[in-house]
Structure 1
Amino acid sequence: MTSRNFGRVSRDRAVELSLDAAMEIEDVITGASSDAPKLRDLIETLSGSEGGNLSKKSLLSDVRAASLYGRAAAVTGRQYQSVSDLDQILDLFLKIYKLGLKPMQPEDLEFARDFCLGLNRQLIDEAYGRTPEPPRAQIRSRRSHTQYAR
């Protein structure tokens, strides 16, 4: 997800794919389907690579990607506070990418669905500037606005 391969078009595509993937995973959970091709497309879009050249390194191409995945995982209700937690998430998605959804446990499918929904929410928040700023940035922003108001 570096700036060179995850621009506005890729982000917009990821917004659509994350929601589509969540719906397809729900169909797999309920037994209405056996696969979720949009999830595979989403993983390729996030990594910026196609044709099986996927690795953890491609999914974690910059710090913003790690932060995005952490925020998306938090939406699932689980707390992820360490690098090893993020490593588990990436392992799951690489496993899904390589093996498909059929061999996955129901709790893994539910996590993948919720993660996709969280990812969709986080991407939309970023696109529309709704990601909260850190408190120090908010203070600086207020100071600069009050200077111009005088």
Structure 2
Amino acid sequence: MTSERQCITWGHDALRLEIDIDPDGDIRLTHLGPPGETAGAERHRAALENCASGGMRSDYALLSRLQLQSTSDQQDLQLYAPVAASAPTAVPPEQGAVWAYPQPADSLDEVAFTMANALLGRIHLSGRVPELDPDARALVHEAVAVYKDAP
């Protein structure tokens, strides 16, 4: 059974290949994600993502076979900006998963900055979105709407 068929059979819309190799040599193989975990997944078609230790190990063999490549697992919006901006030099924007982690403590400018970074690739939304104040949540919804309307 193919990975895509397994995702559909099990009711998942994404399979995340997450084999993390830490600098200390620890290796972890992570999970199948539940439906909706990967924002870029399309209905009735499994999206396969290569996490590659938060984008540290991207290779073109995997890019030729998988729909998504995580660009980083960086959660600091200031540190993610240069990653998001430079990721398209290595990964096509339609394959580059750019994570957005808006947090309740973030100012409206920080939420907007976080979401603008994510628009540079394929939005992967995480964080504590339900806990955002209404204005911040509206910015997140606006960015996702812009992403969905993009060609």
TM range (shorter): under 0.3
Q: Output the TM-score relative to the length of structure 2.
A: 0.25
Structure with bigger gyration radius: 1
Compare the two structures and name the one with the higher strand fraction.
Answer: 2
**Greater relative contact order (Cα < 8 A, sep 6+):** 1
Compare the two structures and name the one with the higher helix fraction.
Answer: 1
Q: Output the TM-score relative to the length of structure 1.
A: 0.26
